[in-house]
Structure 1
Amino acid sequence: MGSGQVTSTVSPDFQGKHVTVAGLGVSGVPAAKVLHARGAVVTVVNDGDDARAREQAAELEALGVTVRLGDGDTLPEGTELIVTAPGWKPTKPLFQAAAKAGIEVWGDVELAWRLRGPDAAPWLCVTGTNGKTTTVQMLASILRAAGLRTAAVGNIGVSLLDAVLGDEPYDVLAVELSSYQLHWAPSLRAHSAAVLNLAPDHLDWHGSMEAYAADKGRIYEGNRVACVYNVADKATEDLVREADVEEGCRAIGFTLGTPGPSQLGVVDGILVDRAFVENRQKNAQELAEVSDVNPPAPHNIANALAAAALARAFGVPPQAVRDGLRAFRPDAHRIAHVADVDGVAYVDDSKATNTHAAEASLAAYESIVWIAGGLAKGATFDELVAKSAKRLRGVVLIGADRALIREALARHAPEVPVVDLDRTDTGAMLQAVQEARRLAAPGDTVLLAPACASMDMFTNYTKRGDAFAEAVRELGS
């Protein structure tokens, strides 16, 4: 970990400045409004020209904002700054033109960071391939249990701009950040931050695994108190080593094993802290029991330890960690127990849209009938199947890219029975659940952990999970 003194950001003056906002949607519209209200001359460019975009454009044009629909690649003349939606690829012609002209590009996170006031709440930030939302929600629950005014914000649904500029006074913010958002947030400096894990994802956007990891690692830049990393994932520790942080900032590990000094971990079913205690060479502080974590699957315990580490870095007492974890309720479609039917548990983890998430989900159960498949997004499945083979009683495959999983099963788990449903209509889920029931025995878990995106069959992973839950309810009726 390098050490660099970080100066506080001065809130920029936008009066009369020509700012181009790239992309409408959840971040573009608020950014355009905020910039316009601060006197900027705002032009919004957007690739799409559909009914929703026209509706948003009309709202902004009524304020005096210029909107260009169906033309997201051309740099408007006179542009002095671009504020982009996080999902826009760095390779877009708009950004190449900006780079040539020496024009800065910010994301909505960067804009929020720059606009926060002198007494603004510090940010505790979380990124990683999987587990970000759960960890940030756990963190917010722990901070609330400590009596702090907080909110879970960022890539989680609550706009950072709203949190920073709203009337609600916060003591601290729990901030979820995607690799996209971090790419476009060059001056962000967190109080403390965590990278939960790193696995190949969004490589079509970043161009390479190295570029993806580098963008994730930006979260540690300029950290003041703690850089939290995953002991089981060396890549996260490597990012800490490469980070340029403030003097005195510490590297804090979390592990599902017994923690060493400057780590949080698990001993005899207890979450313990050997990082934020006096004489950490010899002492450990009990924080909570594994049973306080909901659900107590291994990867979720890891999420809880990361959340606890960030909370402890902020000075939260041990009891608040326990109370916050007990109060936490996970979102739908994240290892959600739907029902028990004839002694078989049915679990919805539709949110497991990549192999890394599915691997964590499969590791949580001993004997599984696995429902998998969908859009692979360029993923391969050999490692996932090889690691999980001994837990599989049977597999039901659905979706456009199911053959990739079937071939991996033939190579690494040839004895496991596989039902391959040659359907991509939404009704396939009912048949998948019925086939899974046929393969399952009492004590098994039927697990929807698709390891793929949902858009070949469903609007999103939520609709896919709903279809699974509905099919399970039909079994039990």
Structure 2
Amino acid sequence: MGSQEVTTSQDTWHGKNITVAGLGVSGISAARALAGFGASVTVVDGGDSEGHREKAALLKEAGISVQLGDSTTLPEGTELVVTSPGWKPSSPLFAEAAAAGVDVVGDVEIAWRLRGPNAAPWLAITGTNGKTTTTQMLASILDAAGLRTAAVGNIGTPIIDVVLEGDDAYDVFAVELSSYQLHWAPSLRAHSGAVLNLAPDHLDWHGSMEAYAADKGRIYEGNQVACVYNVADKATEDLVVEADVEEGCRAIGFTLGTPGPSELGVVDGILVDRAFVENRQKNAQELAEVADVNPPAPHNIANALAAAALARAFGVEPQAVREGLRNFRPDAHRIEHVADVDGVAYVDDSKATNTHATQASLASYESIVWIAGGLAKGATFDELVTGAAKRLRGVVLIGADRALIREALQRHAPEVPVVDLDRTDTGAMSAAVQEAARLAREGDTVLMAPACASMDMFTNYNKRGEAFAEAVRELGATSG
């Protein structure tokens, strides 16, 4: 299918009865946009708090109906349901929609349909981990190339709002897409797409690893120029093989090793391209140095290679890749160096909310005192502990499901000292940092990479990271 065939005139929405599921940021964005095109919009949400009522009041001022406290009943006459990403496919509202023959789509699908005939192409990124960093790296590279761009989708401004700025506002978008968003975006056809990695995550939402992988693989459907995959993760290449792409679209691998033809990789500390060069059987193009990547941890170098591959697929010159990577600064709580105290580095990777992300984080340092624990979300920790055991000076455990990690440590790293803090209060982080400091030796890294979600103790991973940083500052103030 051609990339422009699924655009729809904004007039298409006039008079249409549309139900929007969820009062979150993307739901509100979709409701306002569709109401602005003359649709009759009703927003449904199971919540009925003061915050919900405040949002509802603002929407009602814009002529949008809101149904609070009931997220299971499909409003009468609904012709299309637009869902927020987090709603499960098994939600009763969607079962009712299916029984009535009503389609369910997400905000990304609506954004895709709202593009004009000369809309900016999408360079799309998904994966279990690294999506946001890679998308921001890509936007930095595109910006360095002098292109008008924005990092959108699962980060930043709602994608509908950006698309509605008009065809002339941007040259290209760097689009982060979650598995949820891809599930609800059947018409999406990106210029080029990348799946960074695949590991079990959100299986309660998708129902199985196979369904999760299939939704991730949707990012490759209809790609025009490049399907970018991870050479070290065969499951990503399998998704490329299964994808229905436009004629001439190429499979492009990225690897931390020496690249083969049609791959990007690393040679003697240099990021090189053997995909978008003449005579790729013999030639390679230098793009940047490993030292240009911030931070130069292995998984972050992989992120940089994926971003570079998508940029090169769009025709970006090598110098812009180097400049864009040098200009990039990662968000807070992603392998963020907080401080050095008494010769020990303290690193905040609170964003490592699953075992796959934490595995990459632990592989970045040689001698670690690891702070871990929280809500496990059904995860197991044996493989993670086995791979990291030789790097661990000690472990400090916090949070509701810490026993799962402790038991894995007993099985696979019984010699590693473990401090089990039987606390889930927010003050536990300060105690955890003090215990980690006691275990650490000069030259070690105290790494807070929990491998778990944060909601047992904190509002979100940001608050957890802030608590860690504050505890490190307190430690520094009392040190020496």
1:473 aligns with 473
Between the aligned partners of 2:15 and 2:467, the Cα distance in structure 1 is 51
Looking at structure 1, the residues matched to 373 and 210 of structure 2 have their Cα atoms a distance apart, in angstroms, of 27
Question: Paired residue for 2:333?
Answer: 333
For residues 313-342 of structure 1, the C-alpha deviation after alignment (integer angstroms, 9 at most, x for no partner) is 000000000000000000000000011111
User: 1:5·1:245 contact (CA, 8 Å) conserved in 2?
Assistant: no
Indicate the SS of the match to 2:13. Answer: coil
1:439 matches 2:439? yes
1:201 matched to which residue of 2? 201
Aligned position for 2:106: 107
Q: Residue in 2 aligned with 1:345?
A: 345
Q: In the alignment, which residue of structure 2 is the partner of 1:145?
A: 144
Rounded to whole Å, the distance in 1 between the matches of 2:460 and 2:53 is 23
Aligned equivalent of 1:81: 80
Is 2:178 aligned against 1:178?
A: yes
Q: Classify 1:427/1:132 alpha carbon distance in 2 versus 1 (closer, same or farther; 3 Å).
A: same
Distance 1:105 1:186 in 2: 10
Q: Structure 2: state its 5+ residue gaps.
A: none
CA distance in 2, matches of 1:189, 1:398: 43
Specify the code of the residue in structure 2 equivalent to 1:118. Answer: P
Cα separation, 2, equivalents of 1:466 and 1:192:
36
C-alpha separation between the residues in 2 aligned to 1:476 and 1:429? 15
Matched residue of 1:114: which SS? helix
CA distance in structure 2 between the partners assigned to 1:7 and 1:463 by the alignment: 42
Match of 2:301? 301
Using the alignment, how far apart are the partners of 1:178 and 1:301 within structure 2?
21
The CA deviation at 1:61 is: 1.1
Q: What is the CA deviation profile of residues 7-52 of structure 1, one whole-angstrom value per residue up to 9, with x for unaligned ones? A: 6223140111111111111011111111111111111111111111
Q: Which amino acid is 2:285 matched to?
A: Q
Kept in 1: contact 2:122–2:175 (CA 8 A): yes
Please give the residue correspondences for 1:124-139 in structure 2 after superposition, counting only pairs within 5 Å: 124-139=123-138
TM-fit CA distance, 1:5: 5.3
- For the 8 Å contact 1:194–1:306, the answer to whether it is kept is yes
Matches of 1:162 and 1:346 in 2, distance apart? Answer: 39
Quote the Cα distance in structure 2 between the aligned partners of 1:298 and 1:17: 50
Counterpart Cα distance in 1 of 2:448 and 2:137 = 23
Q: What amino acid is aligned across from residue 473 of structure 2 in structure 1? A: R
CA distance in 1, matches of 2:51, 2:164: 26
Distance in 2 (CA, whole Å) between partners of 1:101 and 1:277 is 52
Give the 5 Å matches for 1:113-128.
Answer: 113-128=112-127
Deviations along 1:73-94, whole A, 9 cap, x unmatched?
Answer: 1111111111111111100111
Question: Aligned pair 1:265/2:262, yes or no?
Answer: no
Match of 2:210 in 1: 210
In 2, Cα distance between equivalents of 1:382 and 1:103: 44
The answer as to whether partners of 2:4 and 2:117 remain within 8 angstroms in 1 is: no
Q: Deviations over 1:42-71 (max 9, x none)?
A: 111111111111111111111221111011
Conservation of the 8 A alpha-carbon contact between 1:15 and 1:40: yes
Q: 1:289: Cα distance to partner?
A: 0.1
Q: 1:367 is matched by which residue type in structure 2?
A: S
Question: What is the TM-score with the length of structure 2 in the denominator?
Answer: 0.98
> Residue 429 of structure 1 contacts residue 467 of structure 1 at CA under 8 Å; is this kept in 2?
yes
Q: Secondary structure at the match of 1:244?
A: coil
Summarize the alignment of residues 5-404 of structure 1 with structure 2, pairs less than 5 Å apart. Answer: 8-12=5-9, 13-166=12-165, 169-404=169-404
Q: Which amino acid aligns with 2:93?
A: L
In the alignment, the residues of structure 2 paired with residue 52 and residue 243 of structure 1 have an alpha-carbon distance, to the nearest angstrom, of: 42
What's the TM-score, normalizing by structure 1?
0.98
**Could you tell me how far apart the structure 1 residues matched to 2:65 and 2:293 are?**
49
8 Å CA contact retained: 2:3, 2:190: no
* 2:456 counterpart of 1:456: yes
CA distances 1:326-366 after superposition (whole Å, capped 9, x unpaired): 00000000000011111111000010000000000000000
List structure 1 segments (4+ residues) > 3 angstroms apart after TM superposition: 4-7
Q: Whole-Å Cα distance in 2 between the matches of residues 87 and 97 of structure 1? A: 18
Q: Kindly indicate whether the alpha-carbon contact (under 8 Å) linking 2:369 and 2:440 is maintained by their aligned counterparts in 1.
A: yes
Q: What one-letter code is carried by the residue in structure 2 that aligns with 1:48?
A: G
Cα pair 1:5 1:247 within 8 Å, conserved: no
Report the Cα distance in structure 1 between the residues aligned to 2:442 and 2:43, rounded to whole angstroms.
Answer: 57
**Percent of residue pairs identical:** 81
Equivalent residue letter for 1:43: T
Give the distance between the partners of 2:463 and 2:19, measured in 1 at CA. 35
Q: CA contact under 8 A between 1:6 and 1:246: conserved in structure 2?
A: no
Checking the alignment, whether the CA contact within 8 Å between 1:110 and 1:186 is kept in structure 2 is yes
The one-letter code of the counterpart of 2:159 is L
> How much has 1:6 moved relative to structure 2?
5.5
Distance in 2 (CA, whole Å) between partners of 1:389 and 1:327 is 35
Amino acid at match of 1:316: V
Q: Show structure 1 runs of 5+ residues with no match.
A: none
Equivalences, count: 474
Q: Please say if residues 7 and 115 of structure 2, whose CA atoms lie closer than 8 Å, have aligned partners that are also in contact.
A: no
- Residues 70-127 of structure 1 show CA distances to partners (whole Å, capped at 9, x for unaligned) of 1111111111111111111100111111112221111000000000111110000000
SS of residue in 2 equivalent to 1:358: helix
Report the 3-state secondary structure (helix = DSSP H, G, I; strand = E; otherwise coil) of the residue aligned with 2:239.
helix
Superposition RMSD on alpha carbons, in Å? 0.9
Structure 1 residue matching 2:81: 3-state secondary structure: strand
Q: Would you say the 8 A contact 1:350–1:461 is kept in 2?
A: yes
CA distance in 2, matches of 1:411, 1:327: 44
Cα distance in 2, alignment partners of residues 352 and 141 from structure 1: 23
Deviates more, 1:422-431 or 1:94-103: 94-103
> d(CA) in 1 for partners of 2:79 and 2:429?
51
